[in-house]
Structure 1
């Protein structure tokens, strides 16, 4: 479709906020079947350009949509996502539907049951249409794998959509689904959101319980929501958050509060701006140049902006050590059994984990504790930290990862992601918000970080900035 071609009739419905669509279905102004058919038609027309949806079950989705309409007609109580199409990240187990983890080792794997995040979305009324593309075993922040190839950025074909939740972010931006979920160890909800001009939330660890999980006490990898608006993300969070007795770090707060109306007043908000996270990360100069335009908007809403950053110097050791520990536990056996079928980045991280001693892990955990105490201290003086989500702009899909940032060589495939990995190590909730566009039209993400467990406050601040800037309303031309 060119800029001069009229939009097909389903386009408006497919690009409306999930909060509006949920209300339309609930009041029966639009049927769940009608909404599904609009999205299936758009997937058929648009996804060949994007490659975001890698498994599609149209007939299963139609049956679920019809059941959703029947429930409404019978006057049954329904969940907050009732009738909304959703595609699940292909690392999240879906009962009866292929789940490949982007790996040849699992090309034909069909789990017997849903994992918890998928189950909660289904119970909230979402209609499963399929799965979204990922890097192999979700390792890396560029979505490509040997099974399905690369996902393209909806704003510029040929460029990366980010990762590892890249298929989810691209599907949202392209109007293929109204809601999605993903996971984030080192930026996998935030990086693709930034590249695709959508919203991705890495919640406080335990906010969205992960089950089953091999290492249930780990706080490094979390699951969370994605959407085209902050309110959409809050709506999805209200469906997937909440305690579960099988998850030792699960937070007990009532998740319903996340879906309450979000205010737009930032009067007195203490805002820290850290364009390079205290000098720790190189950043393409084009990115802070765009994001600095947001700061006067924050001030016009009543925020008081100062340049400040917590001391994150120990975060690299924390993230690197605990990531290696987790990769050895999760993938070590597969690497030893089938090394030729696991990509080099995973083999390398598992090898780091295998070489760790108890003393190494103990030092990392002690540094982890000091880092947590540092961010608690910092957020006693500030309400939110603003920083770039990514250090680079979307890059060609043929490139495995950026090998340099702003002229600084990167040691490995994780180097260009440190604007997110340093934050992951803190335990703080972090959100990527559309932060503007470069002069040639590439999206730039603004990362917002709040105190541990302050997920609701983070959503409120992000919503206020979103409403004032309007960057998230700019959709790609496909």
Structure 2
């Protein structure tokens, strides 16, 4: 057996398992061995499912031998995040108080992984209440970035990104409300997909109430992986219907062909405060796309700053009503400080002002959709800065405000509801750097295709052995 199957992509593993070149048991054991080797220094996976993974792998191998119809991830090791329900395990969301909230049924994303034949090898860490771009909590401890313990692994899917970057699973499940897939992917040098809201079904059966309106509009489930092809394969698996989510939409994964040459708008410094390495990454991605025949122009999409500001106005004002009381009651000290800084960043609005924000949102979406008729692909920075220092959001108010400013290109996208793929472009010093590729609603196929062009020209950054 190849004892480094943990290095293989999900696409390659699924093919080799289906053709009996390798077994799922071998692939899963290689992943578990890798977890045992590197997870103690990273703490990306906070619950390793050894026995369950072995049993599921054996069942997957039996299905192959029986000639059964196989799913797109049949026998492939994956991870899930501790903020979604998985039957028999605690949905902790990184909160001490929730350590005994044991799920009695699977959430749609877990159920779809199982239907696709994936083998869940572990549960990944998240900050308390999944509310930081840093991954640490009093229940599970801190997760580290395999590139450097001095850098954040991102958040809230920091455990997912760290795990996949270090080779602990071929695909990691994450979720993204304000960048929680895209920022960890950026920080750890992997690829991440934020799909269109309504594309991948979501629901936690253990929840005592339904999600507030901004979460319904902006929060999504999605994959992180080491290759764009694996993101595409994971999307196929995760986007299957589940009637428990009233927002799921039956939209084909492949849309109509775009008229060529395909227009690409690149915005290397949309806010004027971007690090030079960040702007250079966007220009590099644009050059690679131009070399591939895309019609690339340096132009910023309309009303970008308004879109980013809209995220804070809508989300933070809703959090004042819903999430803030829970964090103040059950959160750890870091999550409470982070919350206070977020709330101070956005003005307090009354009901009429919040409704006016929704009206403003529609106008900005319209402007973007008209812009996308000419430029179906938009390349933006993920963040204005290289990956933040570990716990940078615990520093003084001036530092934290600058941190929040840096995330404006990240936040504009969920405010408007477009899909985005983060893809690495290289490194800057000891940190990875990359870009986000944005397309029209339900055009994940367009994002993925353009990201694949960028990926083909960039260096292969992961899997990576943990560094100090």
TM-score, normalized by length of structure 1? 0.88
Correspondent of 1:314 among 277, 302, 306:
306
Displacement after TM superposition at 1:451 (Å): 1.5
CA distance 1:306–1:351, change in 2 (3 Å) = closer
SS in 1 for 2:79: strand
Asked if residue 415 in structure 1 is aligned to residue 408 in structure 2, the reply is no
- Superposed CA RMSD: 2.7
- Aligned equivalent of 1:273: 266
Point out the more displaced range, 295-304 or 232-241. 295-304
Partner of 1:458: 447
Determine the structure 2 residue equivalent to 1:53.
45
> Aligned partners of 1:464, 1:290: CA distance in 2, in Å?
14
SS across alignment from 1:433: strand
Aligned to 1:245: 243
SS at match of 2:221: strand
1:383 corresponds in structure 2 to: 376
Aligned to 1:4: none
Give matches, 1:317-336, under 5 Å. Answer: 317-328=309-320, 330-335=322-327
- Aligned residue in 2 for 1:214: 211
Number of matched pairs: 457
Q: What is the CA distance between 1:101 and its match in structure 2? A: 0.6
1:471 paired with 2:468, answer no
Q: Please point out which of 176, 185, 191 is paired with 2:183.
A: 191
Deviations 1:238-293 (A, max 9, x none): 011144434333221245x59xxxx9x9961211110122xx36222222234433
Match of 1:201 in 2: 193
Partners of 2:100 and 2:455 in 1: CA distance = 41
Taking a change above 3 Å as real, the CA distance of residues 289 and 353 of structure 1, as seen in their structure-2 partners, is closer
Cα contact 2:70–2:117 (8 A) shared by 1:
yes
Alpha-carbon spacing, 1:401–1:28, altered in 2? closer, same or farther (3 Å)? farther
1:195 CA displacement: 1.2
CA positional deviation for 1:476: 2.3
Does residue 84 in structure 1 map to residue 72 in structure 2?
Answer: no
The answer to whether the 8 Å contact 2:14/2:73 transfers is yes
> Structure 1 residue 287 and structure 2 residue 275: aligned?
no
Q: Please tell me whether residue 370 in structure 1 is matched to residue 363 in structure 2.
A: yes
1:233 matches 2:231? yes
Unaligned runs of 5+ in 1: 1-7
Aligned to 1:428: 418
Q: Against the structure 1 CA distance between its residues 235 and 108, is the aligned structure 2 distance closer, same or farther, given a 3 Å change threshold?
A: same
Give the deviation of 1:328 after TM superposition: 4.5
Task: Check conservation: 2:225, 2:231, Cα contact below 8 A.
Answer: yes
Aligned to 2:296: 305
How far off is 1:161 after superposition?
1.0
Whether the aligned pair in 2 keeps the contact of 1:134 and 1:143 (CA below 8 Å) is: yes
Residues of 2 paired with 1:274 and 1:193: CA distance? 20
Structure 2 CA distance for partners of 1:216 and 1:234, relative to 1, 3 Å: farther
Distance 1:145 1:376 in 2: 40
Q: Residues 398-450 of structure 1: CA distance to partner in whole angstroms, max 9, x if unpaired?
A: 4336779xxx8552763332120022212111110011111x24210111111
Give unpaired runs (5+ residues) of structure 2: 205-209
Q: Distance in 2 between matches of 1:442 and 1:337?
A: 36
Deviation at 1:366, TM superposition (A): 0.7
Match for 1:445 among 426, 434, 439? Answer: 434
Deviation for aligned residue 1:356: 4.2
Q: Compute the displacement of 1:29 (Å).
A: 1.2
SS, match of residue 401 in structure 2 = coil
Contact residue 214 and residue 330 of structure 1 kept, 8 A: no
Residue 381 of structure 2 contacts residue 409 of structure 2 at CA under 8 Å; is this kept in 1?
yes
Equivalence for 1:17: 9
TM-score of the aligned structures, taking structure 2 as reference length: 0.90
* Alignment map for 1:88-237 (pairs within 5 Å): 88-212=80-204, 213-215=210-212, 218-237=216-235
Instruction: State how far apart, in whole Å, the 2-side matches of 1:370 and 1:197 are.
Output: 34
